[in-house]
Structure 1
Protein backbone atom coordinates (compact mmCIF):
# COMPACT_ATOMS: atom_id res chain seq x y z
CA UNK A 1 0.00 0.00 0.00
CA UNK A 2 1.58 3.31 -1.01
CA UNK A 3 2.08 5.84 1.77
CA UNK A 4 2.33 9.21 0.01
CA UNK A 5 3.00 11.11 3.23
CA UNK A 6 6.34 9.30 3.53
CA UNK A 7 7.74 10.61 0.25
CA UNK A 8 11.41 11.47 0.14
CA UNK A 9 10.74 14.91 -1.35
CA UNK A 10 8.59 16.99 1.04
CA UNK A 11 8.33 19.76 -1.58
CA UNK A 12 6.90 17.51 -4.29
CA UNK A 13 3.98 18.93 -6.24
CA UNK A 14 0.74 18.76 -4.24
CA UNK A 15 -1.25 17.78 -7.33
CA UNK A 16 0.44 14.39 -7.24
CA UNK A 17 -1.17 13.80 -3.82
CA UNK A 18 -4.66 13.75 -5.33
CA UNK A 19 -4.25 10.04 -6.09
CA UNK A 20 -3.91 9.42 -2.35
CA UNK A 21 -7.38 10.79 -1.66
CA UNK A 22 -10.27 8.34 -1.53
CA UNK A 23 -12.16 10.72 -3.81
CA UNK A 24 -11.24 13.00 -6.69
CA UNK A 25 -14.34 15.19 -6.84
CA UNK A 26 -13.99 18.91 -6.14
CA UNK A 27 -17.17 18.79 -4.03
CA UNK A 28 -15.30 17.04 -1.20
CA UNK A 29 -13.48 19.09 1.42
CA UNK A 30 -9.70 18.88 1.03
CA UNK A 31 -6.70 20.56 2.57
CA UNK A 32 -4.74 22.49 -0.11
CA UNK A 33 -1.39 21.80 1.61
CA UNK A 34 0.40 19.12 3.55
CA UNK A 35 0.53 19.10 7.32
CA UNK A 36 3.71 20.59 8.73
CA UNK A 37 6.28 18.70 10.78
CA UNK A 38 5.61 20.80 13.91
CA UNK A 39 1.93 19.86 13.96
CA UNK A 40 2.59 16.19 13.22
CA UNK A 41 5.34 15.96 15.85
CA UNK A 42 3.17 17.59 18.49
CA UNK A 43 0.29 15.22 17.75
CA UNK A 44 2.65 12.23 17.87
CA UNK A 45 3.96 13.24 21.30
CA UNK A 46 0.41 13.76 22.58
CA UNK A 47 -0.62 10.34 21.27
CA UNK A 48 2.42 8.77 22.93
CA UNK A 49 1.36 10.39 26.20
CA UNK A 50 -2.15 8.99 25.70
CA UNK A 51 -0.70 5.51 25.20
CA UNK A 52 1.12 5.79 28.52
CA UNK A 53 -2.11 6.93 30.17
CA UNK A 54 -3.98 3.91 28.79
CA UNK A 55 -1.28 1.57 30.09
CA UNK A 56 -1.51 3.33 33.45
CA UNK A 57 -5.27 2.86 33.44
CA UNK A 58 -4.81 -0.86 32.86
CA UNK A 59 -2.37 -1.11 35.77
CA UNK A 60 -4.69 0.92 38.02
CA UNK A 61 -7.65 -1.28 37.05
CA UNK A 62 -5.75 -4.43 37.99
CA UNK A 63 -4.32 -3.12 41.25
CA UNK A 64 -6.55 -0.35 42.46
CA UNK A 65 -10.02 1.14 42.49
CA UNK A 66 -12.03 1.17 39.26
CA UNK A 67 -12.83 4.87 39.71
CA UNK A 68 -9.15 5.76 39.26
CA UNK A 69 -8.89 3.62 36.14
CA UNK A 70 -12.05 5.17 34.72
CA UNK A 71 -10.77 8.68 35.32
CA UNK A 72 -7.46 7.82 33.65
CA UNK A 73 -9.20 6.30 30.61
CA UNK A 74 -11.43 9.37 30.27
CA UNK A 75 -8.40 11.66 30.43
CA UNK A 76 -6.58 9.49 27.86
CA UNK A 77 -9.58 9.67 25.51
CA UNK A 78 -9.66 13.45 25.88
CA UNK A 79 -5.95 13.52 25.05
CA UNK A 80 -6.50 11.38 21.94
CA UNK A 81 -9.37 13.66 20.88
CA UNK A 82 -7.08 16.67 21.31
CA UNK A 83 -4.38 15.08 19.11
CA UNK A 84 -6.84 14.18 16.37
CA UNK A 85 -8.39 17.65 16.43
CA UNK A 86 -4.89 19.13 16.26
CA UNK A 87 -4.30 17.17 13.05
CA UNK A 88 -7.67 18.25 11.63
CA UNK A 89 -7.08 21.98 12.23
CA UNK A 90 -6.36 24.16 9.23
CA UNK A 91 -7.89 25.40 6.02
CA UNK A 92 -10.09 23.19 3.85
CA UNK A 93 -11.55 24.03 0.44
CA UNK A 94 -14.25 22.66 -1.85
CA UNK A 95 -16.51 24.05 -4.54
CA UNK A 96 -18.93 25.04 -1.74
CA UNK A 97 -16.47 27.36 -0.01
CA UNK A 98 -13.56 27.75 2.35
CA UNK A 99 -13.58 26.17 5.80
CA UNK A 100 -11.35 27.22 8.71
CA UNK A 101 -11.18 24.42 11.28
CA UNK A 102 -9.94 25.49 14.70
CA UNK A 103 -9.51 23.56 17.92
CA UNK A 104 -13.06 24.21 19.13
CA UNK A 105 -14.84 25.92 16.23
CA UNK A 106 -15.30 25.46 12.51
CA UNK A 107 -16.26 28.36 10.29
CA UNK A 108 -17.33 27.98 6.66
CA UNK A 109 -17.53 30.82 4.16
CA UNK A 110 -19.22 30.36 0.82
CA UNK A 111 -17.15 31.52 -2.14
CA UNK A 112 -19.78 34.14 -2.96
CA UNK A 113 -19.16 35.75 0.48
CA UNK A 114 -15.45 36.20 -0.29
CA UNK A 115 -14.30 39.23 -2.24
CA UNK A 116 -10.60 38.44 -2.40
CA UNK A 117 -7.91 36.16 -0.97
CA UNK A 118 -4.47 37.74 -0.85
CA UNK A 119 -1.03 37.39 0.69
CA UNK A 120 0.38 40.32 2.69
CA UNK A 121 3.55 41.11 4.62
CA UNK A 122 2.79 41.88 8.27
CA UNK A 123 3.72 40.90 11.82
CA UNK A 124 2.48 37.35 12.48
CA UNK A 125 2.45 35.07 15.52
CA UNK A 126 5.24 32.54 15.76
CA UNK A 127 3.70 29.04 16.17
CA UNK A 128 0.54 30.68 17.51
CA UNK A 129 2.35 32.07 20.56
CA UNK A 130 2.10 35.73 21.65
CA UNK A 131 5.53 36.50 20.17
CA UNK A 132 5.26 38.18 16.76
CA UNK A 133 7.75 38.22 13.91
CA UNK A 134 7.71 39.78 10.47
CA UNK A 135 6.21 37.35 7.99
CA UNK A 136 3.56 36.66 5.40
CA UNK A 137 -0.12 35.99 5.97
CA UNK A 138 -3.02 34.93 3.77
CA UNK A 139 -6.02 37.19 4.38
CA UNK A 140 -9.66 37.05 3.27
CA UNK A 141 -11.53 40.17 2.28
CA UNK A 142 -15.26 39.58 2.66
CA UNK A 143 -17.90 41.30 0.55
CA UNK A 144 -19.88 42.27 3.68
CA UNK A 145 -19.48 41.88 7.40
CA UNK A 146 -16.60 41.76 9.79
CA UNK A 147 -13.11 40.93 8.57
CA UNK A 148 -12.01 37.32 8.79
CA UNK A 149 -9.05 36.33 10.93
CA UNK A 150 -5.77 35.47 9.27
CA UNK A 151 -6.03 32.13 7.47
CA UNK A 152 -2.43 31.03 7.20
CA UNK A 153 0.96 32.43 8.13
CA UNK A 154 4.43 31.39 7.11
CA UNK A 155 5.29 30.96 10.82
CA UNK A 156 2.48 28.62 11.90
CA UNK A 157 2.85 24.91 12.70
CA UNK A 158 2.33 23.87 9.07
CA UNK A 159 4.79 26.21 7.35
CA UNK A 160 7.56 27.12 9.81
CA UNK A 161 10.82 26.52 7.97
CA UNK A 162 8.98 25.66 4.73
CA UNK A 163 8.58 28.94 2.78
CA UNK A 164 8.04 27.16 -0.55
CA UNK A 165 5.15 25.17 0.92
CA UNK A 166 3.56 28.39 2.21
CA UNK A 167 3.89 30.08 -1.18
CA UNK A 168 2.35 27.05 -2.90
CA UNK A 169 -0.56 26.90 -0.39
CA UNK A 170 -1.22 30.64 -0.75
CA UNK A 171 -1.25 30.32 -4.54
CA UNK A 172 -3.65 27.36 -4.37
CA UNK A 173 -6.03 29.24 -2.05
CA UNK A 174 -5.96 32.32 -4.29
CA UNK A 175 -6.61 30.13 -7.33
CA UNK A 176 -9.58 28.36 -5.65
CA UNK A 177 -11.03 31.76 -4.69
CA UNK A 178 -10.60 33.13 -8.22
CA UNK A 179 -12.19 30.06 -9.82
CA UNK A 180 -15.17 29.56 -7.52
CA UNK A 181 -16.38 32.90 -6.20
CA UNK A 182 -19.43 34.20 -7.96
Structure 2
Protein backbone atom coordinates (compact mmCIF):
# COMPACT_ATOMS: atom_id res chain seq x y z
CA UNK A 1 0.00 0.00 0.00
CA UNK A 2 1.59 3.29 -1.04
CA UNK A 3 2.20 5.83 1.67
CA UNK A 4 0.94 9.27 0.60
CA UNK A 5 3.58 11.21 2.52
CA UNK A 6 6.34 9.35 0.66
CA UNK A 7 4.69 10.08 -2.69
CA UNK A 8 4.51 13.78 -1.83
CA UNK A 9 8.16 13.78 -0.80
CA UNK A 10 9.21 12.17 -4.09
CA UNK A 11 7.23 14.76 -6.03
CA UNK A 12 8.95 17.58 -4.15
CA UNK A 13 12.40 16.08 -4.72
CA UNK A 14 11.73 15.72 -8.45
CA UNK A 15 11.40 11.92 -8.56
CA UNK A 16 8.35 10.41 -10.21
CA UNK A 17 5.99 8.49 -7.99
CA UNK A 18 5.09 4.90 -8.77
CA UNK A 19 1.52 4.40 -9.99
CA UNK A 20 -0.88 3.03 -7.41
CA UNK A 21 -1.79 -0.08 -9.41
CA UNK A 22 0.95 -0.93 -11.93
CA UNK A 23 -0.01 -3.45 -14.59
CA UNK A 24 3.24 -3.95 -16.50
CA UNK A 25 3.34 -7.66 -15.64
CA UNK A 26 -0.08 -8.93 -16.68
CA UNK A 27 0.79 -12.51 -15.71
CA UNK A 28 0.61 -11.74 -11.98
CA UNK A 29 -2.66 -11.73 -10.08
CA UNK A 30 -3.60 -8.15 -9.16
CA UNK A 31 -6.47 -6.53 -7.33
CA UNK A 32 -7.80 -3.73 -9.58
CA UNK A 33 -8.76 -1.63 -6.54
CA UNK A 34 -7.50 -0.89 -3.05
CA UNK A 35 -9.04 -2.65 -0.06
CA UNK A 36 -11.57 -0.55 1.81
CA UNK A 37 -10.89 1.14 5.12
CA UNK A 38 -13.27 -1.17 6.99
CA UNK A 39 -11.42 -4.25 5.79
CA UNK A 40 -8.03 -2.76 6.68
CA UNK A 41 -9.25 -1.58 10.10
CA UNK A 42 -10.67 -5.04 10.84
CA UNK A 43 -7.36 -6.66 9.97
CA UNK A 44 -5.51 -4.13 12.13
CA UNK A 45 -7.73 -4.94 15.11
CA UNK A 46 -7.13 -8.67 14.57
CA UNK A 47 -3.37 -8.11 14.43
CA UNK A 48 -3.56 -6.07 17.63
CA UNK A 49 -5.45 -8.94 19.27
CA UNK A 50 -2.79 -11.37 18.02
CA UNK A 51 -0.05 -9.24 19.59
CA UNK A 52 -1.82 -9.39 22.97
CA UNK A 53 -2.20 -13.15 22.65
CA UNK A 54 1.50 -13.51 21.81
CA UNK A 55 2.42 -11.32 24.79
CA UNK A 56 0.28 -13.60 26.97
CA UNK A 57 2.12 -16.61 25.48
CA UNK A 58 5.46 -15.10 26.50
CA UNK A 59 4.23 -14.47 30.03
CA UNK A 60 2.87 -18.02 30.28
CA UNK A 61 6.14 -19.46 28.94
CA UNK A 62 8.22 -17.47 31.46
CA UNK A 63 5.94 -18.67 34.25
CA UNK A 64 6.70 -22.25 33.23
CA UNK A 65 3.51 -23.30 31.45
CA UNK A 66 4.86 -24.37 28.08
CA UNK A 67 1.72 -26.23 26.93
CA UNK A 68 -0.37 -23.13 27.62
CA UNK A 69 2.15 -20.96 25.80
CA UNK A 70 1.95 -23.32 22.83
CA UNK A 71 -1.83 -23.04 22.77
CA UNK A 72 -1.63 -19.24 22.91
CA UNK A 73 0.95 -19.19 20.12
CA UNK A 74 -1.22 -21.44 17.95
CA UNK A 75 -4.24 -19.22 18.63
CA UNK A 76 -2.27 -16.08 17.73
CA UNK A 77 -1.07 -17.74 14.51
CA UNK A 78 -4.67 -18.50 13.59
CA UNK A 79 -5.71 -14.89 14.24
CA UNK A 80 -2.80 -13.62 12.09
CA UNK A 81 -3.79 -15.93 9.23
CA UNK A 82 -7.40 -14.71 9.55
CA UNK A 83 -6.25 -11.07 9.39
CA UNK A 84 -4.14 -11.73 6.30
CA UNK A 85 -6.99 -13.57 4.60
CA UNK A 86 -9.34 -10.68 5.44
CA UNK A 87 -7.07 -8.14 3.75
CA UNK A 88 -6.47 -10.44 0.78
CA UNK A 89 -10.13 -11.20 0.10
CA UNK A 90 -11.70 -9.57 -2.93
CA UNK A 91 -11.46 -9.77 -6.72
CA UNK A 92 -8.13 -10.40 -8.44
CA UNK A 93 -7.46 -10.39 -12.18
CA UNK A 94 -4.65 -11.51 -14.46
CA UNK A 95 -4.14 -12.46 -18.06
CA UNK A 96 -5.35 -15.99 -17.30
CA UNK A 97 -8.66 -15.13 -15.63
CA UNK A 98 -10.56 -13.66 -12.72
CA UNK A 99 -10.38 -14.87 -9.13
CA UNK A 100 -12.70 -14.22 -6.18
CA UNK A 101 -10.97 -14.74 -2.85
CA UNK A 102 -13.26 -15.05 0.14
CA UNK A 103 -12.55 -15.54 3.81
CA UNK A 104 -12.67 -19.33 3.55
CA UNK A 105 -12.90 -20.13 -0.18
CA UNK A 106 -11.41 -19.12 -3.51
CA UNK A 107 -12.90 -19.53 -6.97
CA UNK A 108 -11.07 -18.92 -10.25
CA UNK A 109 -12.55 -18.59 -13.72
CA UNK A 110 -10.44 -18.42 -16.87
CA UNK A 111 -11.32 -15.75 -19.42
CA UNK A 112 -12.63 -18.30 -21.96
CA UNK A 113 -15.20 -19.38 -19.32
CA UNK A 114 -16.41 -15.77 -18.98
CA UNK A 115 -18.91 -14.51 -21.56
CA UNK A 116 -19.32 -11.03 -20.07
CA UNK A 117 -18.72 -8.93 -16.98
CA UNK A 118 -21.35 -6.30 -16.32
CA UNK A 119 -22.56 -3.89 -13.63
CA UNK A 120 -26.26 -4.09 -12.74
CA UNK A 121 -28.70 -2.49 -10.30
CA UNK A 122 -30.17 -5.18 -8.05
CA UNK A 123 -30.78 -6.05 -4.40
CA UNK A 124 -27.39 -6.79 -2.81
CA UNK A 125 -26.29 -7.96 0.61
CA UNK A 126 -25.22 -5.23 2.99
CA UNK A 127 -21.70 -6.07 4.29
CA UNK A 128 -22.32 -9.73 3.40
CA UNK A 129 -25.16 -10.07 5.91
CA UNK A 130 -28.55 -11.59 5.04
CA UNK A 131 -30.18 -8.16 4.85
CA UNK A 132 -30.46 -6.88 1.27
CA UNK A 133 -30.62 -3.31 0.05
CA UNK A 134 -30.82 -1.81 -3.42
CA UNK A 135 -27.37 -1.35 -4.90
CA UNK A 136 -25.00 -2.14 -7.72
CA UNK A 137 -23.19 -5.40 -8.35
CA UNK A 138 -20.58 -6.62 -10.81
CA UNK A 139 -21.78 -9.93 -12.29
CA UNK A 140 -20.10 -12.57 -14.44
CA UNK A 141 -22.07 -14.31 -17.18
CA UNK A 142 -20.42 -17.64 -17.97
CA UNK A 143 -20.01 -19.22 -21.39
CA UNK A 144 -22.47 -21.99 -20.50
CA UNK A 145 -25.24 -19.41 -19.96
CA UNK A 146 -25.19 -19.11 -16.17
CA UNK A 147 -24.65 -16.09 -13.97
CA UNK A 148 -22.36 -16.35 -10.96
CA UNK A 149 -22.97 -14.63 -7.65
CA UNK A 150 -21.82 -10.99 -7.58
CA UNK A 151 -18.08 -10.38 -7.65
CA UNK A 152 -18.27 -7.10 -5.76
CA UNK A 153 -21.08 -4.81 -4.70
CA UNK A 154 -21.21 -1.18 -3.70
CA UNK A 155 -22.36 -2.32 -0.24
CA UNK A 156 -19.48 -4.65 0.68
CA UNK A 157 -16.58 -3.89 3.03
CA UNK A 158 -14.41 -2.42 0.27
CA UNK A 159 -16.90 0.09 -1.15
CA UNK A 160 -19.44 0.98 1.54
CA UNK A 161 -19.70 4.76 1.36
CA UNK A 162 -17.19 4.95 -1.51
CA UNK A 163 -19.36 5.03 -4.66
CA UNK A 164 -16.61 6.56 -6.80
CA UNK A 165 -14.17 3.80 -5.83
CA UNK A 166 -16.79 1.17 -6.75
CA UNK A 167 -17.30 2.75 -10.17
CA UNK A 168 -13.54 2.76 -10.83
CA UNK A 169 -13.18 -0.86 -9.68
CA UNK A 170 -16.15 -2.02 -11.77
CA UNK A 171 -14.71 -0.25 -14.82
CA UNK A 172 -11.31 -1.84 -14.20
CA UNK A 173 -12.75 -5.37 -13.90
CA UNK A 174 -14.89 -4.85 -17.01
CA UNK A 175 -11.81 -3.50 -18.82
CA UNK A 176 -9.80 -6.59 -17.94
CA UNK A 177 -12.66 -8.77 -19.18
CA UNK A 178 -12.88 -6.83 -22.45
CA UNK A 179 -9.11 -6.97 -22.98
CA UNK A 180 -8.67 -10.66 -22.20
CA UNK A 181 -12.12 -12.19 -22.67
CA UNK A 182 -13.84 -13.27 -25.84
TM-score past 0.5 threshold: yes
Q: CA offset at residue 53 of structure 1?
A: 0.2
Inter-partner Cα distance in structure 2 for 1:28 and 1:69: 39
Inter-partner Cα distance in structure 1 for 2:167 and 2:5: 20
Which runs of 5 or more structure 1 residues have no equivalent in the other structure?
Answer: 9-14
- TM-aligned CA distance change 1:141 to 1:157, over 3 Å: same
Write out aligned runs for 1:4-83 (5 A): 4-6=2-4, 16-19=19-22, 24-83=24-83
TM-score, with structure 2 as normaliser = 0.88
Aligned to 1:11: none
| Other structure's SS at 2:164 match | helix
Aligned to 1:12: none
Inter-partner Cα distance in structure 2 for 1:180 and 1:158: 25
Residues paired across the two proteins, number: 172
Moved more, 72-81 or 57-66: 57-66
Inter-partner Cα distance in structure 2 for 1:35 and 1:61: 37
> RMSD of the TM alignment (CA)?
2.0
Inter-partner Cα distance in structure 2 for 1:37 and 1:64: 41
Deviations 1:97-146 (A, max 9, x none): 10111112211111111011111111111111122111100000001165
- The 4+ residue runs of structure 1 with deviation greater than 4 A are none
- Contact 2:98 2:108 (8 Å CA) reproduced: yes
- Contact 1:60 1:68 (8 Å CA) reproduced: yes
- Contact 1:18 1:24 (8 Å CA) reproduced: no
Write out aligned runs for 1:1-182 (5 A): 4-6=2-4, 16-19=19-22, 24-144=24-144, 146-182=146-182
TM-score, with structure 1 as normaliser = 0.88
Q: CA offset at residue 6 of structure 1?
A: 3.8
